[in-house]
Each structure stands twice: as C-alpha cells, then as structure tokens.
Amino acid sequence: NAGVMQNPRHLVRRRGQEARLRCSPMKGHSHVYWYRQLPEEGLKFMVYLQKENIIDESGMPKERFSAEFPKEGPSILRIQQVVRGDSAAYFCASSGTGTGGIQYFGAGTRLSVL
C-alpha cells in the first residue's frame, strides 16, 4: 500500500493562474480530507469528501476554491486565479470505514504564488 499520494510536491504559479492539486487516497479508503497550513501556522480544515460527494466544505473559501473526488481517479483541489495569500502547504488525508477515525496523511503540496 503506497499510502496517500499527493502531487505535485511543489507547485509554482503566478498570480491569476490556476492551481490543481491531486490526492490519491490509500487503497480502500473512500474518505478524503483537505487541509491548508500557512507558514508558521497550524493545520486548517478545508473540505471533506467521499466518492462523488462533498460532505463538509465549511473550511473552504467561498470563492476561487473547489474540490472534487470523482468515482474514478484522484481527488482534486482547484484554486482559480491564485493570489499571494494562497501560498501554503496543502495536505490531503484519507480514511476508511475500518480505520477507526484515524486519518492518514500525504506529504503535502507546497504552493508558491509569485
């Protein structure tokens, strides 16, 4: 089991461009969570998805940010028209019905907006 895979590890975008972050959960896991970590700050919940459904997006900015977890393929966090304040590390975690609430984390994507 390869664990939670995130790509790219580093992403550089200019202001106004789009950023797409991908997350492949652990095999057998159907729950995906996205978190943002600003420099020198703690982890902030963004969105929780199950296959083809957004369960909780209360932590996600209303504009420019969207997330999906299609039936096939990885979960995608999309940030449109990026701004400098979007520069952060974005972590994905996954869990399954048999993990007892434990979330397993990916290595993160570090987004830098120039």
Partner 1 sequence: AQRVTQPEKLLSVFKGAPVELKCNYSYSGSPELFWYVQYSRQRLQLLLRHISRESIKGFTADLNKGETSFHLKKPFAQEEDSAMYYCALSGSNYQLIWGAGTKLIIKP
Q: For residue 101, what are its two tokens?
A: 């609430």
The one among 45, 64, 68, 112 contacting partner 1 by CB under 8 A:
45
Residues in the chain: 114
With H, G, I as helix, E, B as strand and everything else as coil, classify residue 84: helix
The one among 24, 31, 46, 111 contacting partner 1 by CB under 8 A:
31
Cα 82 to Cα 53: distance, rounded to the nearest angstrom: 25
* H or E, element range at 37: strand 31-37
Query: Applying CB under 8 A, does 36 fall inside the site for partner 1?
Result: no
| Least distance between partner 1 and beta carbon 42 (Å) | 3
State the residues that interact with partner 1 by CB under 8 A.
31, 33, 42-43, 45, 48, 55-56, 91, 93, 95, 100-108
